[in-house]
A and B are shown apart, each in its own frame.
Chain A
């Protein structure tokens, strides 16, 4: 597979996941701010912006402003609209590789974006975020149903998993930053679509330890950090057909594996006690994996050499 195409697929995976997760996070946070009379809007918004990597802003920050920056800013590839546009642009450059149905879904979604702002004004932000979640789900379904499980698939799933680890870590950081009060664990679980599953798993006992354990360590819930790291790990393993005699073959495998075991073999109590450091470590992991994957698969170019005998 062409390196350029592999890179596009990896980024399609990342951007679509980013769009979906950002929509989820915003939706739940904004709802929470409206529903809870004790929330200080300014503080909650600033905390959210900080976690999502938006540099601090001088002016007062409102919920509407957060929607503008993280939801609708088309020039920011980390906003919902920007990420969807970036995913579409990547798919356009890899059009002979992604299935027609995937392309058409991304393209039609992109064509629907100019309506997003109108939708927000007319029907409220929730309708917009819901639409985004639906479009991402349609895409995930078509990816699952129409893409052959070859290298391209591995790169797309790898990108999706890396982004998921990153976004879930950021989501948990919103809790840590706000001093554990806002947003509640309930909010976080809802953001991840994990609320019902959590209730069934722990029979309704809602406490910090169990909630953190669930989002960080659950083996079965697909949006947990552990599950996403494991998926990334197996993608990387499949991309390297020849396992090395000792340890693993690539930097990326090493980084992901270390991060996964670091979670797995520390108990939930220990993780909770040191949550801020653990989450910062996960964000670092994502950026390191990204670099390692780029170096190994996307940028492997032999430098052009001008030799006299080659020209003759």
Chain B
């Protein structure tokens, strides 16, 4: 029988499964052993079951108005416990530094006065909102949820690609991927100890409740969605459902006298914490876009008055700005007095030094060019894959607005075997771990979303660019079943109660049976009418 990995070729970039051809790394041995004996037809059937389940459950994202299932590849990505400890610490460190930075730029501005970050970078950022100045969250948290995009470079080192501290999405797929994979690959789950991911909604709810305005002991938390036509609507509904809170749209909210309330069948009910999945610009027509119907007039004033908490805080986008990203290692040193645990990707700033700009313009075909305020992979130009016309166009745009762009070294992202057609092929992946900050501690969900670029050689993994995802497994410290960790909860003992015999229908059962048998014997041959 043809081996699934028979003609699997290592691609450019770190292969997560194989150190060298046909030699799986220790973390992947159990998975490799399970997959190898499967025929491609068998794997294809399981992949189909997976796709069907996603479609039926409506685990979709909307692309140009059409709902599509978010493709989940059947081969998971595995991260060893010791590798994960580094990621976890690095993500937590970054979130703490960015929190300190946001508090600073919307407050005293010490970091600007000290010249660690040039003032012009902050004030020219498209997502720096003066409206957010002076809104001081009760427990100090502005980044309740962060999604930090990581990649592994050619040496297998995790590097930060960008930070998302506005409205990072994708965590619902982490949870749904795990559920679906446990159904189609139960044998691998039985042989591997994987850290569970289902505690995310609970952690999120805890953090949101902790952020409630002062004096509210039993806060009402809601999730604010733009509505069913938003690409991440599935995620909004899932988070609301799993937290057991209302999923509201802007038209469900009303703001009077700095109090926010939702319209219910029993009248208006006060809302204390809004986990918003609506962008800043659409949140409050009084302060931002006057034509927005997705938000609620008066929200910002209510937040300023300390009567409602908006999570994530308004104005966080200044920390997402890709030019600011180049300063994050300095911010970690400045605020935390620590060395960055996770390195950035080598990045050029184009607005400081004319020589750097000239150097970059000379080498556009070797670099990756990114607009600083884009998200979802929009506007990215990969020099080596771009046409001359595309390079000329981006050159023109960079020359006009060097502040609006960064240039990065093209990193060959690490690769994981992925089902393409009916064979396994190496495809590039990234990783978005999710962090939740409750004000006491930054908790990082073990795993995160691994996105995979499905076209061969493609480096852009975003779902809006036709990417798929993989279930991401973080192994426990003791990865084998033999080292059973001691149970924290006492096991539940079920004492089976003895079954009393079913009395059955009253009347002479034997006689009835005989009659029925005779009846069927008589009518045999003719179909029952």
Interface residues in chain A, defined as those with a beta carbon under 8 Å from any beta carbon in chain B: 1-6, 89, 92-93, 95-96, 100, 103-104, 107-108, 111, 151, 239, 297-298, 300-302, 304-305, 310-311
Contact = CB atoms under 8 A, between A and B. Distances in A.
20 contacts: A2-B264, A3-B252, A3-B263, A3-B264, A4-B263, A89-B228, A92-B228, A93-B228, A96-B237, A96-B241, A96-B247, A103-B57, A103-B58, A104-B58, A107-B57, A300-B263, A300-B265, A301-B254, A302-B254, A304-B254
A151 B256 CA distance: 26
B252 A4 contact: yes
Given A2-B264, A92-B228, A96-B241, A107 B58 contact: yes
Interface of B: 55-58, 227-228, 233, 237-238, 240-241, 246-249, 251-252, 254, 256-257, 262-268, 297, 301
Contacts of A297: 265
A4 B56 contact: no
B171 to A, nearest CB: 15
Given A95-B58, A300-B263, 8 more contacts: A1-B264, A2-B265, A3-B263, A4-B263, A300-B265, A300-B267, A301-B254, A302-B256
A298 B248 CA distance: 14
B241 A107 contact: no
A302 B237 contact: no
Given A93-B228, A107-B56, A107-B57, A304 B263 contact: no
Given A2-B246, A2-B248, A151 B57 contact: no
A96 B263 contact: no
Contacts of A305: 256
A108 B54 CA distance: 10
A93 B246 contact: no
A4 B247 CA distance: 10
Contacts, number: 67
Contacts of B240: 96
A107 B228 CA distance: 14
Contact of B263 (A100, A301, A310): A301
B237 A100 contact: no
Given A3-B252, A93-B228, A96-B237, A111 B263 contact: no
Contact of A95 (B56, B241, B252): B241
Contact of A304 (B266, B267, B297): B297
Nearest to B261: A302
A138 to B, nearest CB: 13
B265 A1 contact: yes
A-B pairs with lowest CB-CB distance, top 3: A95-B237, A96-B241, A96-B240
B173 to A, nearest CB: 16
Contacts of B297: 304
Given A2-B264, A3-B264, A96 B56 contact: no
Contacts of A310: 256-257
Contacts of B252: 2-4
A104 B234 CA distance: 13
B251 A4 contact: yes
Contacts of A4: 249, 251-252, 263
Contacts of A103: 57-58
A6 B254 contact: no
Nearest to A99: B241
Contacts of A104: 56-58
B227 A93 contact: yes
B241 to A, nearest CB: 4
A111 B265 contact: no
Nearest to A108: B56
A111 B55 contact: yes
Of the listed residues B227, B249, B266, the one surrounded by the most CB atoms of chain A closer than 10 A to its CB is: B266
A302 B247 CA distance: 20
A239 B247 CA distance: 22
Nearest to A109: B56
A168 to B, nearest CB: 27
Contacts of A304: 254, 297
A92 B58 contact: yes
Given A96-B241, A111-B55, A3 B265 contact: yes
A76 B21 CA distance: 59
A239 B246 CA distance: 20
A302 B251 CA distance: 12
B376 to A, nearest CB: 22
A172 to B, nearest CB: 31
A105 to B, nearest CB: 9
A184 to B, nearest CB: 22
Nearest to B263: A3
A34 to B, nearest CB: 20
B446 to A, nearest CB: 24
A89 B228 CA distance: 9
Contacts of A239: 265
Contacts of A3: 252, 263-265
A72 B240 CA distance: 35
B257 A302 contact: no
A96 B228 CA distance: 12
B400 to A, nearest CB: 40
Contacts of A300: 263, 265, 267
A100 B228 contact: no
Contacts of A95: 58, 237, 241, 247
A68 B252 CA distance: 38
Nearest to B236: A96
Nearest to A88: B58
A244 to B, nearest CB: 17
Nearest to A98: B241
Contacts of B251: 4
Contacts of B237: 95-96
A5 B265 CA distance: 9
Contact of B246 (A89, A96, A100, A302): A96
A297 B136 CA distance: 37
A55 to B, nearest CB: 30
Contacts of A151: 265
B125 to A, nearest CB: 28
Contact of A2 (B227, B233, B256, B262): B262
Contacts of A93: 227-228
Contacts of B266: 1
Nearest to A107: B58
A302 B268 contact: yes
Contacts of B263: 2-4, 300-301
A95 B247 CA distance: 9
Contacts of A6: 265
Nearest to B268: A302
A32 to B, nearest CB: 21
A3 B253 CA distance: 11
Contacts of B238: 96
Contacts of A311: 301
Contacts of B55: 111
A111 B54 CA distance: 12
Contacts of A298: 265
